[in-house]
Amino acid sequence: MQATTKPWWQMTRTPTPGFVLGGLWLLLGVLRWVWLEPGGGWIAPTAATVFTLGGLAYLASSTAVALRRRAPAAEPHD
């Protein structure tokens, strides 16, 4: 097995697909929260929570990848 250089939290290789997927999952989560029926059981709020958290995870991961790419490379210490 080879060691991977990708951090454990990185969900996509480049930021763009992560922002797209994060936006879509977040949109689905928000729509589920908006159309939530009172007294409708536990499945709908659970799905809305999972979609919202998934979208936020994709957005956080993509933001971190974009910031890491923008940051200057650290110089080696002697």
pLDDT tens-digit series, residues 17-61: 999 999 999 999 999 999 998 888 999 999 999 999 999 999 999
On whether residue 37 sits in a domain, the answer given is yes
User: Residue 48 sits in which domain range?
Assistant: 15-68
- C-beta of residue 44 within 8 angstroms of C-beta of residue 67: no
3 occurs within a structural domain:
no
Q: Kindly report the backbone phi and psi dihedral angles of residue 14, in degrees, each rounded to the nearest multiple of 5, phi listed first.
A: -120, 160
- Separation between Cα atoms, residue 53 and residue 33, nearest integer Å: 12
**pTM of the complete model beyond 0.75:** yes
For helices 15-34 and 43-70, angle between their N-to-C axes, nearest 10 degrees: 150
Whole-angstrom CA distances from 44 to 14, 25, 58 are 32, 15, 21
Distance between CA 66 and CA 15 in Å, rounded? 6
Q: Does residue 38 form part of some domain?
A: yes
Structural domain contains residue 9: no
| Number of separate domains in the chain | 1
pLDDT of residue 1: 58
Residue 76 is assigned to a structural domain of this protein: no
